[in-house]
Amino acid sequence: MNEKKARIAVFVSGGGTNLQALLDAQQSGIIHSGEIVLVVSSNPTAYAIERAKNHGVPSVVVSRKACGSQEAYEAGIRAALEEYRIDLIVLAGFMSILSADFTSRYPERILNVHPSLIPSFCGKGFYGLRVHEAALAYGVKVTGATVHFVNEIPDGGRIVLQKAVDILPGDTPEVLQRRVMEQAEWHLLPAATEMVSAQIVAASV
């Protein structure tokens, strides 16, 4: 392993604030056992690609639509992961479901951040703002974020870190999303990424 750091690929689809938190954590040394060497975007117009560019991190766009089939799409992603000798995949606002065939190739090597306290408001159909809309519609008073390993069950892999965030009177989905990001996601995802990177490095010596 190069300089004894885990080689990390971050998967994105949109704005990429979680990618930004990871890049900042790498710069400040919070992430020091791993290095972000590749960004994979499912969306050619994702602003996250600009964030990667600003930090000198190469990015590849692999579009499900352009590939035609899930098999071709995932084969394209796997080819990029092999080229960059990736040890750890971090899903940071990645809005495309990966098949069991894909996830089973990387057991406990794929992390995801989800904007609720799993097992609430998670699984198929719960992503992005929809998660916060559902929490507000239900009327829960506490929500949060979860970082978990990814397996064949959507949002069903082993939980790594979790943090609760209060819901306040008058919250809109947008206001709540921002609070969950600021108070939970942007801290949990870098912390979990460092933790798993350190484990990968330790296992490689």
156 near ligand GAR, judged by CB under 6 A: no
127 near ligand GAR, judged by CB under 6 A: yes
73 or 127: CB nearest ligand GAR: 127
Give the nearest distance from C-beta 53 to ligand GAR in angstroms.
16
Q: What is the 3-state secondary structure (H, E, C) of the chain?
A: CHHHCEEEEEEECCCCHHHHHHHHHHHHCCCCCEEEEEEEECCCCCCHHHHHHHCCCCEEECCHHHHCCHHHHHHHHHHHHHHCCCCEEEECCCCCCCCHHHHCCCCCCEEEEECCCCCCCCCCCCCCHHHHHHHHHHCCCEEEEEEEECCCCCCCCCEEEEEEEECCCCCCHHHHHHHHHHHHHHHHHHHHHHHHHHHHHHHHC
150 near ligand GAR, judged by CB under 6 A: no
Give the nearest distance from C-beta 29 to ligand GAR in angstroms.
21
Within 13 Å, how many C-alpha atoms sit on residue 167's CB side? 23
144 near ligand GAR, judged by CB under 6 A: no
131 near ligand GAR, judged by CB under 6 A: yes
4 or 130: CB nearest ligand GAR: 130
Give the nearest distance from C-beta 201 to ligand GAR in angstroms.
25
Sign, Cα dihedral of 41, 42, 45, 47: negative
17 near ligand GAR, judged by CB under 6 A: yes
Give the nearest distance from C-beta 202 to ligand GAR in angstroms.
28
Among 5, 9, 10, 14, binds ligand GAR (CB under 6 A): 14
Among 15, 70, 156, 179, binds ligand GAR (CB under 6 A): 15
CA–CA distance, 89 with 92 (Å, rounded to integer): 10
55 is catalytic: no
1 or 142: CB nearest ligand GAR: 142
CB atoms within 10 A of CB 101: 12
177 or 201: CB nearest ligand GAR: 177
Catalytic positions are 114
Contact residues for ligand GAR (CB under 6 A)? 14-18, 92-93, 113-115, 127-128, 131, 181, 185
